[in-house]
Amino acid sequence: SLFRLKDLEVAELGDSDVRVKMLAAPINPADINMIQGTYAIVSPLPAVGGNEGVGEVLEVGRRVAALKPGDRVIPAVTGLGTWRTWGVFPEETLLKVPSDIPVLSAATLSVNPCTAYRMLADFETLAPGDSVIQNAANSGVGQAVIQIAKASGIKTINVVRDRPDLPKLVERLMALGADHVITEEMLRKPEMKDIFKSIPKPRLALNCVGGKSTTEMLRHLQPKGTMVTYGGMAKQPVMVPVSAFIFRDVRLRGFWMTQWRKDHAEDQESLGSMMDTLCQLIQSGQLAAPACTEVPLQDYKAALEATMKPFVSSKQILLL
């Protein structure tokens, strides 16, 4: 196993540092890829896992102005190492969030909802009534896309893999505000035409799978539409028919939240307005945490195993 539970000395508090008691931290597939060394960022070892989570400020260094004891904070950077009970972090690596947000919502805020928000905002100018198509619609990002789109009046067509408990999953996604939930097989069927009687063809497709389902999804994109790839769960390339480029001039783009954060490190306004919007959606009940299973830290092995299983519809959250 790549993981061990270890007792570490908590570092001294520097002038610009913040001492944090971690409350909860999810296990995301990217966290595990990072530790396996198959991700674009490799942490120097030994390292603490976890890129996301929420904590409470216990103590601040004398130069820290924006945070005070009792504040709730989430990571502002990738690779913070959130799977721990306590930590001392530089002030600029943390973002304050409202204390009245549920712990699980705050713990799962900095990666998936931010990714969903940026992809909906940054590639196509979508107006109420427009539509978006996405695969892996039951993923953390997928669930956030459904809810953020719904709050903006944007329709979603949500593609999921066929599975034993499909009706239950469809019901859950519809309850979040999905307009249509279909299986990968249905993408190829003539019945797709029925969907487009009531809503326009999508201008934006969000892909985190790759392989055949992505090619099929692309067929339903409007001319000059954009497909954004942010993951590759099928571990297969994205195949695009030449005709889609020539006759429909589709655009293929990529998105990685870590890169966006790097590019906007000096741009506090973009980050601030995104976080404000997401926090308001949470406070108004329009953006819920994904389905979660809470696991005490000492049971971390079971949580890691559960994260790697196929058709997982619950995010494992370590309680610290």
132-185 confidence digits (pLDDT tens)? 999 999 999 999 999 999 999 999 999 999 998 899 999 999 999 999 999 999
- Percent over 90 (pLDDT), the chain: 73
Report pLDDT for 177: 98
Sign of dihedral through CA atoms 292, 293, 294, 295?
negative
The domain limits of the chain are 17-108+289-319, 112-257
| Residue 45 banded pLDDT, cuts 50, 70, 90 | low
Residue with the larger pLDDT of the pair 157 and 5: 157
| Residue 311 banded pLDDT, cuts 50, 70, 90 | low
Catalytically active residues, by annotation: 39
- Closest C-alpha to 38, from 46, 47, 29: 29
Q: How far apart are CA 78 and CA 32, in angstroms?
A: 13
| Of the listed ranges 41-45, 207-211, 232-236, 291-295, the one predicted with least confidence | 41-45
Question: Helix (H) and strand (E) counts for the chain?
Answer: 11, 13
What does the DSSP 8-state code read for residue 45?
Answer: S
Report pLDDT for 3: 76
This prediction's pTM = 0.91
Mean pLDDT of 81-98: 94
| Residue 300 banded pLDDT, cuts 50, 70, 90 | confident
Segments in the chain forming alpha helices (H)? 29-36, 103-107, 112-122, 140-151, 166-176, 192-198, 212-218, 242-248, 257-263, 268-283, 300-308
Question: Contact, 204 vs 123, CB < 8 A?
Answer: yes
- Closest C-alpha to 317, from 19, 22, 73: 22
Report pLDDT for 313: 67
- Percent over 70 (pLDDT), the chain: 96
Q: What is the mean pLDDT of the chain?
A: 92
Q: Which residues pair with 134 in a beta bridge?
A: 158, 206
112-257: CATH class? alpha beta
Mean pLDDT of 99-124: 96
Q: Three-state SS for 85? A: coil
| Of the listed ranges 23-32, 42-51, 73-82, 98-107, the one predicted with least confidence | 42-51
Residue appearing with tokens 């593609």: 159
Residue appearing with tokens 């539409």: 225
248-283 confidence digits (pLDDT tens)? 999 999 999 989 999 998 898 999 999 999 999 999
Residue with the larger pLDDT of the pair 132 and 7: 132
Q: How far apart are CA 105 and CA 113, in angstroms?
A: 10
The alpha carbon of 149 is separated from its chain's Cα centroid by a whole number of angstroms, namely 14
- Closest C-alpha to 10, from 79, 61, 84, 77: 84
Report pLDDT for 307: 81
Residue appearing with tokens 């994904």: 290
Asked whether residue 75 carries a pLDDT value surpassing 80, the answer given is yes
> Peptide bond before 102: cis, by omega within 30 degrees of 0?
no
Asked whether residue 72 carries a pLDDT value surpassing 70, the answer given is yes
Question: Contact, 53 vs 294, CB < 8 A?
Answer: no
Architecture in CATH for domain 17-108+289-319: Alpha-Beta Complex (3.90)
Question: Contact, 49 vs 3, CB < 8 A?
Answer: yes
| Residue 232 banded pLDDT, cuts 50, 70, 90 | confident
